[in-house]
A and B are shown apart, each in its own frame.
Chain A
Amino acid sequence: AQTVTQSQPEMSVQEAETVTLSCTYDTSESDYYLFWYKQPPSRQMILVIRQEAYKQQNATENRFSVNFQKAAKSFSLKISDSQLGDAAMYFCAYRSQSAGGTSYGKLTFGQGTILTVHP
């Protein structure tokens, strides 16, 4: 079974500064997807960025980028130019890409990191 670990329960950053959230995972599979989701107090989970394991290039989405280290099973999220609206709980998640009956609707989530942004 896959596991996802976020070792930082809380992080804080000053507005306009950069912060990195850590995530490690454990799997025996070679093909999979990794995600970072944001969950603001409104509760709705929003996809921030995703990475396909077969791609060596790190994914980027505007101010959000990842550092994907497949051998180390590490997947960190970097938020540049932090904004007050970035404050939320952030979850790292894993999804298998295996065929043959695997549930593609199944994500394995980490415990989450609460990000506070100070003005």
Chain B
Amino acid sequence: DAGVTQSPTHLIKTRGQHVTLRCSPISGHKSVSWYQQVLGQGPQFIFQYYEKEERGRGNFPDRFSARQFPNYSSELNVNALLLGDSALYLCASSLAGPTGELFFGEGSRLTVL
């Protein structure tokens, strides 16, 4: 069975541009979470979506947005990119509820120049 897949794996943008990152969860998983991992640090929670609704949001500016589609895949959008947005963006999917293990993708490495 396919795991969590993310695209693109690497991308380079310039300041002020917009980026869209994509995530396909494990089949049967209805919850998707996004994390930002700056080099050398632990991941920081950005969003969780479950059944196409936002269920949680971390301390990130409104330039960050996300959505979940009927097939449970998800997009993370970042507008007006800043140098500080350079990071590894991780997507994780899980079954519903507190006992559902999070399965992570390999991430999208974003570099902002």
Contact = CB atoms under 8 A, between A and B. Distances in A.
B48 A105 contact: yes
B42 A105 contact: no
Given A44-B104, A45-B90, A45-B104, A104 B97 contact: yes
Contacts of B73: none
Interface size class of B (residues with CB under 8 A): 20 to 34
B104 A105 contact: no
Interface stretch (A13-21, A57-65, A108-116): A108-116
A44 B107 CA distance: 7
Interface string B52-87: 000111100000000000000000000000000000
Interface of B: 31-33, 35, 40-45, 48, 50, 55-58, 88, 90, 92, 94, 96-102, 104-107
Interface of A: 4, 33, 42-47, 50, 91, 93, 95-97, 101-112
